[in-house]
Amino acid sequence: MIGTNKKDAQETVDAILADMSAAAQNGKAFPHVPDSPNADLVESLVRSRQPDLVTYSGWEAIDRHERSLGQPSGRPRVKLTRIEEMLRIAADENP
């Protein structure tokens, strides 16, 4: 399931970027691109609406933690099962 969701998300992003590239090549403005993009403002807005936001670096922290749990027993990983624990580990990687 998760692997499928990641693949679907990547396909969606690729399609958006292709649309933006095609618009730019045809001299068209892409309506959803601000004149002065600011990733910090976007993240701030999302965090105001979703305080438990898990960023990519937070996901990487969870991934590292799960891999480290599996390593002693020769497993690829030991999946975390409690959301609270995942959020705590992810938050360690976020401002």
pLDDT, tens digit, for every residue of 79-90? 999 999 999 999
% of the chain surpassing 70 pLDDT: 87
pLDDT at res. 8: 86
User: Distance between CA 1 and CA 77 in Å, rounded?
Assistant: 17
pLDDT at res. 3: 61
| pLDDT band, residue 31 (cuts 50/70/90) | low
The region that residue 38 occupies, defined by phi over 0 for left and psi between -120 and 50 for alpha, beta otherwise, is beta
What is the reported pTM? 0.61
